[in-house]
Structures are given as structure tokens and as C-alpha cells.
Amino acid sequence: MKVPLEDFRLNSNLGIYVHEKVHATDYSDGSESHLLKVFEKVSDLTYDSDELQKYIIDWPTMYHIGKGRQTLRALNLPPNLEVLELGAGCGAVTRYLGEHFKSVCAIEGSIQRAAVLGKRCMDLTNVKVFVGDFTKIKFPKKI
């Protein structure tokens, strides 16, 4: 049975939408706790933030906060798009999407990563982060 997105509830402590019947995975590359602390203390969370660069300590953090992940710029997409992102991770691409498009519905399977993603996009009211297995979610025809 698939659960409709509208049945998810906001966990205000984490800034993400959860549902007790749509379970998360425990996938982690080990960078999530470091990134969560970083996103709580920096003032510039933007996708091309120079401030974030000083917190790169290894390959996983380079992957998540290093510049150069936003290759979507090359597509020259219109800004009025409503985006569904599956497997949003810690938000490197999600942040870019939220800054450039009308709305973003980001789905992440790991609660740790979804919490990091929620923190990274906390100031973007057009971004909603849902946690769980996307194969268990019933999506509306239009998000």
C-alpha cells in the first residue's frame, strides 16, 4: 500500500515530513553529523556558498558542500518549474533547485540525510523534505 504525500506530517524539530508507515533506511556515509553542525552555524547556506568551503574535511563533505554539483544550470530551465527530486541526499542539488525554481518536493530515504537536507534548506519556504522509501509513496499528479 502506498501512502499519499498529504498524509505525511511535519516533524518541526527536524524540519522534515515523516510518516510512521513509510520507513527510512539507515544509509550514511559518515558525514551527516558534521554537516548538520555546519549548517547550524554558517550564515550562508546558498548553493555556491564560499563560507561552506572551509568546512570540507574529506571526500564525502566535498561531495555534499563543494562547488560544482549544480550542473543543472546548463539546461537553462524556466524558473516556474515545480520539481520532484528523488534521492535528495544532503541537499547539494536540492538547495540549487530551491533557489532557482518555483517549488521543490525532495524525497530522501535516510532520516539522517533528510535532517541535514532540512537544515540546509530551512530558509527556503518553497522546499519540502519528505523522508522514506519513494516506492511506498503515492504521488499526486501534480506536486
Q: How far apart are CA 42 and CA 52, in angstroms?
A: 7
Q: Which three cell numbers stand for residue 98?
A: 530551491
Block mean pLDDT (10 aa), the chain, length 143: 94 93 89 96 94 96 86 82 95 94 97 96 97 93 71
Q: Give the burial class of 142: count Cβ atoms within 10 A of its Cβ; 0-12 exposed, 13-18 middle, 19 or more buried.
A: exposed
pTM confidence score: 0.91
> Hey, what CATH topology would domain 3-138 get?
Rossmann fold (3.40.50)
| pLDDT value for 118 | 96
Per the CB < 8 A criterion, the answer to whether 117 and 94 are in contact is: yes
CA 65 to centroid of chain Cα atoms = 12
Beta bridge partners of 128: 105
